[in-house]
Amino acid sequence: MKHEFRVRVGPAGFRIGSDWKQPIDQLAALYSDYPAPDIPDFTVRLFAQRPWRRFLRPSVMIGGDYMLPDAAPVSLAHGLLAAEMGMNLQMALGQRRYLLLHASAVERDGKALLMTGHSGAGKSTLSALLGERGWRFMGDEFVLVDLSTAVVHAFPRLVSLKNEAITLFEGAVDADRLGPLMRDTPKGDIRHLQPPTDAIAKMSEPARPALLLFPRFGHAPDVREVGEAEVFVRLTQASTNYVALGEAGFDALSSLVRTIPTRAVDYPDTENAVASVERLWMELAE
Amino acid sequence: MTDAGILTRALVDPSTTQNFDAGDWTALIAMARAEQLMGSLAHRLDGLGFLPEKVAQLCADARRFAEHARRQALWEAEMSRRVLAPLGEPVVLLKGTAYVAAGLSAGVGRSIGDLDILVSHEALDAVERALTGQGGWEWVKEDAYDDAYYRDYMHELPPLIHKERDRMIDVHHTVLPLTAKPTPDAVSMIADSVELENGLRILSPADMVCHSAAHLFADGDLAGGLRNLWDIDQLLRDFGTRDGFWKALGQRAERHQLAKPVARALRLAEALYETPLDGALARRGRVGDALYIRRLLARDDWGRETRKFLRLAFYIRSHWLRMPPLMLIRHLWTKWRKGQN
* Chain B residues lying within 8 Å of A43, measured CB to CB: 26, 30, 33, 302-303
The reply to whether B30 touches chain A by the CB within 8 Å rule is yes
- Across the interface, which of A15, A64, A96 has its CB nearest the CB of B61? A96
User: Minimum mean pLDDT among A48-52, A81-85, A272-276: which range?
Assistant: A48-52
User: Which of the four pLDDT bands, split at 50, 70 and 90, describes residue B145?
Assistant: confident
Q: Rounded CA gap, A41 and A62, in Å?
A: 17
* Burial class of residue A53 in the structure, from the number of CB atoms within 10 Å of its CB (0-12 exposed, 13-18 middle, 19+ buried): middle
Amino acid B212: pLDDT? 96
Nearest CA in chain B to A243: B68
Strand order, beta sheet including A152-153: A98-102, A142-146, A152-153
Region B33-55: what's the mean pLDDT?
A: 97
Question: What distance in Å separates residue A137's CA from the closest CA in chain B?
Answer: 26
A56 vs B279, which has greater pLDDT? A56
Check A38 against B22: CB less than 8 A apart: yes
Percent of chain B with pLDDT over 90: 73
pLDDT one-digit tens code per residue, A195-217: 999 999 999 999 999 999 999 98
How many beta-carbon contacts under 8 Å exist across A and B? 49
Cβ of A134 under 8 Å from any chain B Cβ?
no
Higher pLDDT among residues A171 and B287, named by residue? A171
pLDDT confidence of A71, banded at 50, 70, 90?
confident
pLDDT at B341 over 70: no
Q: What is the ipTM of this complex?
A: 0.93
Query: What is the C-alpha separation between A199 and A156, in angstroms, rounded?
Result: 7
Residue B339 pLDDT class (50, 70, 90 cuts): low
| A29 touches A80 (CB < 8 A) | no
What residue segments make up the domains of chain B, in order of their start?
Answer: 5-340
- pLDDT above 70 covers what percent of chain B? 99
Q: How far is CA B272 from CA A218, B236, B340, in A?
A: 62, 14, 42
Angle at A63 between CA A58 and CA A69, to 5 degrees: 105
Determine the residue of chain A that is closest to B35 in CA distance: A65
pLDDT of residue B217: 83
B57 touches chain A (CB under 8 A): yes
| Among A96, A144, A247, the residue to mutate for chain B (most B Cβ within 10 A) | A96
Q: Is the pLDDT of residue B340 over 70?
A: no
Among the partner-chain residues A17, A47, A97, the one whose CB lies closest to the CB of B61 is A97
Q: Which of B97, B173, B84 is nearest to B132 (CA)?
A: B84
Q: What is the pLDDT of residues B63-75, one digit of tens each?
A: 999 999 999 999 9
Q: Which chain A residues are Cβ-neighbours of B26 within 8 angstroms?
A: 15, 39-40, 43
Q: Where are the domains of chain A?
A: 3-94, 98-157+195-284
Residue A74 has pLDDT above 80, yes or no: yes
**What is d(CA B229, CA B216) in angstroms, rounded to the nearest whole number?**
8
Amino acid, res. B319: H
Among the listed ranges A202-211, B99-108, B146-155, B325-334, which one has the minimum average pLDDT value? B325-334
Q: Which of residues 281-320 of B touch A (CB under 8 A)?
A: 302-304
Single-letter residue type at A161 = L
Q: What is the pLDDT of residue B162?
A: 95
| Alpha-carbon span B295 to B312, nearest angstrom | 10
Q: Give chain B positions within 8 Å (CB) of A17.
A: 302
Query: Which residues on neighbouring strands pair with residue A115, listed in sequence order?
Result: A104, A213
- Count other C-beta atoms under 10 Å from residue B194's C-beta: 14
Residue B248 pLDDT = 97
d(CA B62, CA B72): 15
Query: Once rounded to an integer, what is the mean pLDDT over residues B230-240?
Result: 98
Strand ranges (DSSP E) for A149-195? 152-153, 159-162, 182-185, 188-193
Q: Which of A190-199, B71-80, B325-334 has the lowest mean pLDDT?
A: B325-334
Q: Which residues contact A41 (CB under 8 A, 6 or more apart)?
A: A12, A13, A14, A90, A94, B54, B57, B58
pLDDT digits (tens, 9 = 90+) for B193-231: 999 999 999 999 999 999 999 999 877 788 889 999 999
Interface residue B71 vs chain A (CB under 8 A): yes
- In eight-state DSSP terms, residue A239 is B
pLDDT band (50, 70, 90) for residue B286: confident
- Between the alpha carbon of residue A2 and those of residues A75, A259, B21, B302, the distances in Å are 19, 49, 21, 11
3-state secondary structure at position A103: coil
**In terms of DSSP H, where are the helices of B89-203?**
95-101, 124-132, 144-153, 186-191
**Quick check: B61 contacting A, CB < 8 Å?**
yes
pLDDT category at B283 given cuts 50, 70, 90 is confident
pLDDT tens profile A80-125: 999 999 999 999 999 999 999 999 999 999 999 999 988 777 889 9
Domain A98-157+195-284 has CATH 3.40.50.970: no
The total of other beta-carbon atoms located within 10 Å of residue B331's CB is 17
> Comparing A131 with A56, which gets the higher pLDDT?
A131
pLDDT reported for residue B1: 59
- Taking contacts as CB-CB distances below 8 angstroms, the residues of chain A near B60 are 97
Mean pLDDT of A34-43: 97
Strand ranges of the sheet holding A182-185, from the earlier edge strand across to the other edge = A159-162, A188-193, A182-185
Q: State the Cα–Cα distance between residues A139 and A203, nearest whole angstrom.
A: 9
